Amino acid sequence: MAASALFKKTQNKAGLALHEDDLRYIELEGNLSRLRVAKKVSVPSGGKGIRKNSLADAGDLLAALQALGASIGGFKVPVALSIPSRDILIRVIELPELEMNDAREALQWDFEKYFPYAFSDAAVDISKVENPLKGEPGMMSVLVAACRLRTVESVMRLAATAGMQLATIEPENVAMFRAALGPTLSFPGGYLAVFAENGVSQLILGYKDNGVLYRTSLIDINTVEEEQKDFTALVREIGNTLTFARNQYKELQVEHIMLGGHFVGEAGLKDVIEETTGLKVLAADPWSPWGIPVPSDDALGWETAVGLAVRELS
């Protein structure tokens, strides 16, 4: 290997998460052996572009994107951008054992069995996954993420107007899951990843290093007396998801819960989940699994942005 190639500077990796209250941009430099934050900026979103974890008016995000671009000196590297999870439908389906391009072609014939719109009206991404359910010989399990084409096109126009080159567009909950799992972690059995945020929480059933069930729940976590949070609704939703998973995947043993999000360090949350479910709860964050030094300020709520930025590294 030539010395010039060995010491060649790699291009930074950027992720931009679209949230209801803010836009979160992170730029990482280095590689898997040493990653560090080059830029990390959060700007208010304006509050109208995204509502209840769904894109309401992409154009309303333009001013926030322009402010973000100005604060970082312009979008100099391609950006991986999130789409709110309620705009995406994610299914694990069985297809004949095929190359991915052929599988995508085959999917279009049965697409409307799984999704409420036509294949021609959808933006679709597929990937092969390991499934705890044993399929028939000659079949494979694929994770299919589908979004209405007009939603993706509106996001692409928004990015182009803001002077942003897109590297990819991805569901936010897929990015969150990647950030918490890291590049090498793979559990032998099943587990539930929970990202607890105010207003919306993400619950993902994991098997080895795959997500096989994605749920988005609109849950308000209110403050009660003496600044204590009421996590009753969240804990109930965790229990419901575990019940559904055990019925759907009867051979899968869910062994623990990974807890992330804004409320990961909230007093009492870990204990009440463990007491209610009987499962051990492990704290998850997007920094440690990737060897990224934890920021000294504003370290919570960056799962989506980090997961987007490391997409090509996983």
| pLDDT tens digit sequence for 65-109 | 999 999 999 999 999 999 999 999 999 999 999 999 999 999 999
Task: Report the percent of the chain where pLDDT is more than 90.
Answer: 78
DSSP string covering the chain, please? --HHHHTPPPPPEEEEEE-SSEEEEEEEEEETTEEEEEEEEEEE--SSSEETTEES-GGGGHHHHHHHHHHTTS--S-EEEEE-GGGEEEEEEEEES--HHHHHHHHHHHHHHHSSS-GGGEEEEEEE---SS---TTEEEEEEEEEEHHHHHHHHHHHHHTT--EEEEEEHHHHHHHHHHTTT---SSEEEEEEE-SS-EEEEEEETTEEEEEEEE----EE-GGG-EE-HHHHHHHHHHHHHHHHH-TT--EEEEEEESTTTT-TTHHHHHHHHH--EEEE--SSGGGTPPPPSS--TT-HHHHHHHTGGG-
- Model confidence at 197: pLDDT above 80: yes
Average confidence score pLDDT of the chain:
91
Report whether 196 contacts 283 (CB < 8 A).
Answer: no
Task: Report the percent of the chain where pLDDT is more than 70.
Answer: 96
Domains of the chain and any CATH numbers: 87-148 (3.30.1490.300), 185-283 (3.30.420.40)
Range 190-214 average pLDDT: 93
Q: What is the pLDDT of residues 16-75, one digit of tens each?
A: 999 999 999 999 999 998 999 999 999 999 889 999 999 999 999 999 999 999 999 999
- Model confidence at 225: pLDDT above 80: no
Q: What is the pLDDT of residues 114-170, one digit of tens each?
A: 999 999 999 999 999 988 888 788 999 999 999 999 999 999 999 999 999 999 999
The reported pTM is: 0.92
Place of tokens 């849950």: 219
